[in-house]
Amino acid sequence: METRRAIEDRRSVRAFTDKPVDRAILETILTLARCAPSGANLQPGRFHALTGAALKSLSDALLDGIAAGRPQVSEYSYFPRPMPADLKARQRAAGFALYDALGIEKRDLEGRKAQFQHNYRFFGAPVGMIVTIHRDMGAGCFMDLGMAIQTMLLAVHDAGLAACGIGAMANYGDLIHDHLGLDADEMVVAGVAIGYAADHPVNDFRTERDPLDVFATFRGFES
C-alpha cells in the first residue's frame, strides 16, 4: 500500500523552495534508480547532478543561447512526427491547463514563451539533473532508461522531495554536452528538477489519466 500511495501521490512540481538538497540524499536516490530492470543488465544512462554555481552556470548558458537564437537540435524523436490529431489535442489540453493554473491566458504568447523558458531554469529547483544515454544504445534501452528515471522519481517522492522531468533539455543537448564537458558518446535525453515543493498554485495542477478500458484489455479471465 505504501508503494501504491507513492505512485498515486507523486506529481510533477514546477515551483520549489530554495532549501538545499544534501548530496547524501541524492546518492541514495540515484542508487535506488539503478535498481530498475534493464535488458541484459546493460543499465543504460548516466545522471549528472548540479547545484549552486554549477547549476546557475548551465541555466545561464542555456538562456543566453536561446536569446541569441541558437537553433534547436533533434538527436532523437521525443514525440511522433507528425503528431496524430488525438494526441495533439491531448497535448494542447495539458498545456492550456498548466497555463491556466499559472494565470496565463491562451492568447498570451509572450507569457507562454516566458513560462516555457523556466524549463531551462529547472523551475528554480536547487538541483538540476541531466540524464544522458550512450549514442549507440538501441531504442529498447530508452525504455530501460525510462524505468530508471521513474524509479528515481519515486525515490525522490519517498525522500520527501519533489521533481519534474524536463524533456525540453534535449532541444539544446549539444550546448549542454559542451558546457558540461560530457563524454563524446553521451547524448542528452532529458533534465530533471529536484528540490522541496513550494506552496504555489502550479503545484496543484494535475494531468488526467485515461481510464482502464481505454488502454487495457483482458483475455481469458473469468468475468
Query: Distance (Å, rounded) from C-alpha 146 to C-alpha 27?
Result: 19
Question: CA–CA distance from 223 to each of 27, 78, 208 (Å)?
Answer: 46, 38, 28
- 68/90 Cα distance (integer angstroms): 32
Distance between CA 154 and CA 162 in Å, rounded?
A: 9
Cα diameter, the chain:
62
Asked whether 26 and 194 are in contact (CB, 8 A), the reply is: yes
pLDDT above 90 coverage of the chain, percent: 80
At 100, list the grid cell. Answer: 491556466
Q: How many CA atoms lie within 13 A of 121 on its CB side?
A: 10
For 12-78+119-203, CATH number?
A: 3.40.109.10
Residue 182 class from Cβ within 10 Å (0-12 exposed, 13-18 middle, 19+ buried)?
A: middle
**SS3 category, 198:** coil
Per-residue pLDDT of the chain (223 residues; tens, 9 = 90+): 689 999 999 999 999 999 999 999 999 999 999 999 999 999 999 999 999 999 999 999 999 999 999 999 989 988 888 999 999 999 988 888 888 888 888 788 887 888 889 999 999 999 999 999 999 999 999 999 999 999 999 999 999 999 999 999 999 999 999 999 999 999 999 999 999 999 999 998 888 999 999 999 999 998 7
13 grid coordinates: 512540481
